Amino acid sequence: MREKITLKKPLIINGAEKTELTYDIEEISPTLFAQADALKKQAAGQKSVAVTPAVEFDFALHIYLGFAAIIAINPEITFEDLDRMKGFDLMAMNAIGRNFTLKVEGSQESNSDTCSETIPEPSTVALPNSNDGQ
């Protein structure tokens, strides 16, 4: 699903100032995912990584996956263009990438008015209080 992000700090891309960028996390390909991971490692100065964090907690990867969601539907934009992004715009990219890694197909928002599980009765007996004998 195509969405738009409004940049707090505009970027110059291909000679034009961009204040909004469209993206679609459903269009991230395996190649874009691999490029995002490789660029994340390169940016961190990692040549080889013995321990890879779970994708859900790989916050730097989330930024590059946000970039990938933009590039997927805007092939004229490159990772190098987006790598000039700064500040709160990076946090927006992080949220886009995090939403991609945590998305569960067919899940729905939970309704806080309904209980989603059965809570068992306490296994200990309540102690009598001073009002029980009256």
pLDDT at 50 over 80: no
35 DSSP β-pair partners = none
Region 89-94: mean pLDDT is 95
| pLDDT bracket for residue 6 (50, 70, 90) | very high
Single out the residue of 83, 86, 54 nearest to residue 70, CA to CA.
83
Percent of the chain with pLDDT over 90: 55
pTM of the model: 0.71
Query: Locate tokens 């699903």: which residue?
Result: 1
Cα 12 to the center of its chain, rounded Å: 24
CA triple 120-130-126, angle to 5 deg: 15
- Give a three-class secondary structure readout of the chain: CCEEEEEEEEEEECCEEEEEEEECHHHCCHHHHHHHHHHHHHHCCCCCCCCCCCHHHCHHHHHHHHHHHHHHHCCCCCHHHHCCCCCHHHHHHHHHHHHHHHCCCCCCCCCCCCCCCCCCCCCCCCCCCCCCCC
pLDDT in tens, 94-132: 999 999 888 745 433 333 444 444 445 555 555 666 665
Residue 77 corresponds to which tokens in the numbers above? 């934009």
Whole-number pLDDT of residue 111: 39
